[in-house]
């Protein structure tokens, strides 16, 4: 019995496998996101297609998606946050980070995924890549302790 690749810590056959096989619907947008990640790990492209909202399937490349899923080494899924997407909601948002190795390079896919419930089933609709926020510079005053950790005032240390 293997642990589910979605990061839940539960066995695959109790977690994402029943959702992917169609034996149980995903009750929340997050559970669908986890199942979709596991489907990439196991190259279950039919599930990826079927769990995509019908209005958003037009650009789906079955063969290309399968090739990518099969050649990537999947390292893990991190759910950053969810907004709505619960049992009683009609829409939801799941921000996630999927880590994988592609052609020997470590990759991070950080996305804000949008989900919609239709006919009692959750579907992925669209996603936006999450860009790293710019670092904000903190101005050090001349009389502040130096940022190098010397314990000396900035003006007498690195601020010369």
> Among all chains, which residue has been given the structure tokens 């003006």?
155
What DSSP designation does 45 have?
H
- Phi/psi of residue 144, nearest 5 degrees: -80, 155
Residue 153, domain extent: 135-160
Average pLDDT for residues 91-98, to the nearest whole number? 98
Percentage, residues of the chain above pLDDT 70? 88
Torsion-angle region of residue 147: left (phi > 0), alpha (psi -120 to 50) or beta?
alpha
**Same-domain status, 28 and 106:** yes
**Same-domain status, 100 and 45:** yes
- pLDDT over 70 at 116, yes or no: yes
**Same-domain status, 121 and 58:** yes
If one counts the domains in the chain, the total is 2
**Same-domain status, 122 and 154:** no
**Same-domain status, 19 and 77:** yes
Q: How far apart are CA 34 and CA 19, in angstroms?
A: 10
* Span 28-87, pLDDT tens digits: 999 999 999 999 999 999 999 999 999 999 989 999 999 999 999 999 999 999 999 999
User: At CA 66, angle to CA 1 and CA 37, rounded to 5?
Assistant: 45
**Same-domain status, 153 and 92:** no
Residue 23 tokens read as 């034996």
Inside any domain, residue 6: no
């Amino acid at each position: 019995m293997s642990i589910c690749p979605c990061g839940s810590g539960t066995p695959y056959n109790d977690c994402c496998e029943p959702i992917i096989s169609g034996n149980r619907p995903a009750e929340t947008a997050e559970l669908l996101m986890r199942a979709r990640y596991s489907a990439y790990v196991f190259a279950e492209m039919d599930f990826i297609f079927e769990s995509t909202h019908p209005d958003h399937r037009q650009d789906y490349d079955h063969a290309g998606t399968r090739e990518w899923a099969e050649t990537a080494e999947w390292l893990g899924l991190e759910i950053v946050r969810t907004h709505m997407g619960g049992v009683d909601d009609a829409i939801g948002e799941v921000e996630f980070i999927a880590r994988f190795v592609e052609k020997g390079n470590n990759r991070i896919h950080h996305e804000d995924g949008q989900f919609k419930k239709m006919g009692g089933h959750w579907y992925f609709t669209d996603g936006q890549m999450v860009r790293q926020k710019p670092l904000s510079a903190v101005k050090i005053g001349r009389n502040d302790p130096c940022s190098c950790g010397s314990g000396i005032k900035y003006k007498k240390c690195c601020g010369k």
